[in-house]
Amino acid sequence: MLIDIITLFPEMFAGVFGESIIKRAVDKKILEVRFTQLRDFAFDKHRQVDDSPFGGGAGMVLKPEPVYRAVRDVLSKSDENISRKIILPDPGGEVFTQAKAKELAALDQIVFVCGHYEGFDARIYDLADELISIGDYVLTGGELPAMVIVDAVARMLPDVLGSAESAVTDSFFDGMLGFPQYTRPREFEGKIVPDVLLSGNHAEIKKWREEQSLALTRTRRPDLLK
Ligand code: ADE
């Protein structure tokens, strides 16, 4: 999968993409991540990417021309017949879910357009195939949401997770929270690992885990069961 990130702040991604599962996916060539500096597509001599809003008001608005030029440049660098989506992280978008992560993992390319000012010129929205929000709060820009989405998508790609980290045991994998996990020691500060997990009875363990998933979901996230 090819991920393109159009941003004014590519350095923000180094830590998150340089470690752990995303790094492994890149090293294994399952994932390729390219960055495009939005400012390189500003056409005036001051390389201005934002301007004050028509009609007045506080803050600056991201200008349409650099964004359109950057997106067109990115699209021109890959085959137009591959399956791809242009995603705008935006608090007004559809709220991101595990199901959406799985859906996006089936694409060949995702292009993220990260804004970093008070808003996008409304015409920029016409470029997007989808607006995605990572929750009902406002962040400073689209970079953190893009990192969150890439992380969740990358671990859904085939061969990214080792069998020891299988997504099957994840919370949300089957629409429910994951079951409780334990490791050594068997007893810690009086808290004891449930006997069934030490029983060696795989059918009983599976049944216990399913019951626990359901019970946890019912108490912590009953909205998921609706
Ligand atoms: N940009 C600013 N806040 C955001 C959010 N919550 N989700 C996605 N993009 C955003």
Q: Where are the domains of the chain?
A: 2-173
The residues near 158 (Cβ < 8 Å, ≥ 6 apart) are 30
Respond yes or no: is residue 34 known to be catalytic.
no
120: which strand partners?
A: 62
Q: What is the CA angle 95-214-98, rounded to 5? A: 25
Taking all residues of the chain, what is their mean pLDDT, rounded to a whole number? 95
Q: What percent of the chain has pLDDT over 90?
A: 89
pLDDT-derived band at 165, boundaries 50, 70, 90: low
For ligand 1, residues with CB inside 6 Å are 89-91, 133-135, 137-139, 142, 145
Q: What is the pLDDT of residue 171?
A: 79
Mean pLDDT (whole number) for 103-116: 96
pLDDT at 164 over 70: no
Residue with the larger pLDDT of the pair 137 and 163: 137
Q: What is the pLDDT of residues 184-209, one digit of tens each?
A: 999 999 999 999 999 999 999 999 99
Catalytic position from the list 73, 103, 130, 170: 170
CATH superfamily name and code, 2-173: SPOUT methyltransferase, trefoil knot domain (3.40.1280.10)
Name the residue with tokens 């008070």.
Answer: 118
State the closest ligand 1 atom to the C-alpha of 137, by its place in the atom list counted from 1.
6
pTM here is: 0.94
Q: Which of 68-72, 114-118, 123-127, 169-173 has the least mean pLDDT? A: 169-173
Token readout for 225 is 């069961």
Q: Amino acid letter at 108?
A: D
CA of 220 to the centre of ligand 1 (A): 25
Cα gap 18→16, rounded to integer Å: 6
Cα gap 60→53, rounded to integer Å: 6
186, 191, 164, 31: CA torsion to nearest 10: -150
Q: C-alpha distances in angstroms, 178 versus 22, 156, 162, 211, 215?
A: 22, 16, 18, 11, 10
